């Protein structure tokens, strides 16, 4: 067993309204910043032990499927690093 | 002016309680997953135009300082990519 950190990033799919991002973008613009677009995402860094990096990635992807992401509205990516 | 995407990741500093992460970790454990630790972060992808990558990074860092992060409890990182 080796120690890994899985970084799961959960984003809204294109076309899904993101009122939090819209509000944040407007607030930045009110502060005088110029920006074209802003998107927000949730990121989870998960420390886990697994036999190898593939096993760690599979487990983190299953966590995303079952709890961290809602497949109707979210896309997610998983990155694995040794810890 | 070139087009850049700045990725600002805002994390709680070590030692700051993160009840959302604790709740998420417990929910995963209840589903039968084994994990050592879980930390959550907010990520903002900001599309902006700037003279060069350094200027884009400076502007994104200023957005983090002024709005996206609370320096008392948060650390942040900025990554710049051409768009």
Pairs across A and B, CB distance < 8 A: 83
- Which residues of B fall within a CB distance of 8 Å from A67? 24, 27-28, 31
Which ipTM score applies to this complex? 0.89
pLDDT at position A81: 97
Q: What is the pLDDT of residues A57-82, one digit of tens each?
A: 999 999 999 999 999 999 999 999 99
Q: What is the CATH number of domain B2-82?
A: 3.30.1280.10
Looking at chain A, which residue has its C-alpha nearest residue B61? Answer: A33
Q: Residue A33: name the closest of B47, B36, B28, B78 by CA.
A: B47
B81 at interface of A, judged by CB pairs closer than 8 A: no
Residues of B in contact with A33 (CB under 8 A): 59, 62-63
Tens digit of pLDDT for each residue in B5-54?
A: 999 999 999 999 999 999 999 999 999 999 999 999 999 999 999 999 99
B68 burial (CB, 10 Å; 0-12 / 13-18 / 19+) is: buried
pLDDT score of A1 more than 90: no
């Amino acid at each position: 067993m080796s120690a890994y950190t899985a970084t799961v990033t959960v984003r809204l799919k294109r076309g899904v309204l993101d009122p939090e991002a819209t509000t944040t973008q407007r607030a930045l613009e009110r502060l005088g910043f110029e920006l074209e677009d802003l998107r927000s995402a949730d990121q989870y860094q998960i420390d886990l032990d697994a036999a190898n990096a593939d096993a760690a990635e599979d487990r983190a992807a299953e966590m995303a499927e079952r709890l961290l992401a809602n497949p109707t509205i979210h896309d997610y990516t998983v990155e694995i690093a040794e810890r």
